[in-house]
Amino acid sequence: MHTLSEENYLKCIYRLWQDKGQKITPTAIAESLGNNPASVVDMLRKLTDKLLINYDKKKGVELTAQGQKDATLIVRRHRLWEVFLLEKLGYDWDEIHDIAEDLEHIKDASLADRLDKFLGFPEYDPHGDPIPKANGKMAKRYSTTLADLKTSGYCRVAAVKDTTSSFLQYLQKLNISIGTKIQLIEKIPFDSSLVISIDGNERTTVSQKFGESVLIDM
């Protein structure tokens, strides 16, 4: 199996691949992991040797079929543990990500499947991210953000793109969670700030950066 570090690279590449259809470069990986690009180059060589990725200067980094499978399993474990921590152990929204970062690396052939069953086969994790099934398939992944909205109107919070506790705590303060109904009232042309109404309450203004981290369902 893979080392902790290899798994973190795989997961990182998987996330970059899902986030944008863009070319995945060593620099992007380095930034995402907080590592030095030189270290990334080392690891890319190792992952290539293990047939988990293909790296072509023109195309950037791509996961092989095996790499995708392995990365998906790590993500599956991460998201299942998040559900467990929140639902069973009573952790708060903003606490579970970091703990799941460690739990996701526990390797046992049937652990994910047993946990999945124990949790009742959840489709989404507490941040609204779809949980890959045992066969690798997963439910719809939302991609439109609040900041993407061109015109005023209603939407529902489907997921969040940021799992830092500062962001999640801000959401809690605003009384926003998965499923919350939001009305976009106005977009300020100057800085793309968003004037919104949360659950029909009085209007609030949030930043563009904030809007970009909220995935919505229309």
Partner DNA sequence: AAATAAAATTAGTCTTGCCTAATTTTATTT
Partner DNA sequence: AAATAAAATTAGGCAAGACTAATTTTATTT
DSSP state of 192: -
Residues in contact with a second copy by the rule CB under 8 A:
88-91, 98-99, 102-103, 106-108, 110-111, 114-115, 118
Please report whether residue 6 would count as binding DNA according to CB under 7 A: yes
Residue 4: count of CB within 10 angstroms of its CB: 9
| Rounded least distance, CB 211 to a second copy, Å | 31
Please report whether residue 43 would count as binding DNA according to CB under 7 A: yes
User: Exactly one of 18, 22, 36, 169 binds DNA (CB under 7 A); which one?
Assistant: 36
Residue-wise burial string across 6-37, b where 16 or more C-beta atoms lie within 10 A, e elsewhere = bbbbbbbbbebbeeeeeebbbebbbebbebee
CA distance 198 to 75: 31
| Rounded least distance, CB 2 to DNA, Å | 8
Q: Which segments of 20-145 does DSSP mark as H helices, in order?
A: 26-33, 37-49, 65-83, 96-103, 111-118
Please report whether residue 20 would count as binding DNA according to CB under 7 A: no
| Rounded least distance, CB 89 to a second copy, Å | 4
- Binding-site ranges for DNA (CB under 7 A): 3-6, 8, 25-28, 34-39, 41-44, 46, 57-58, 60
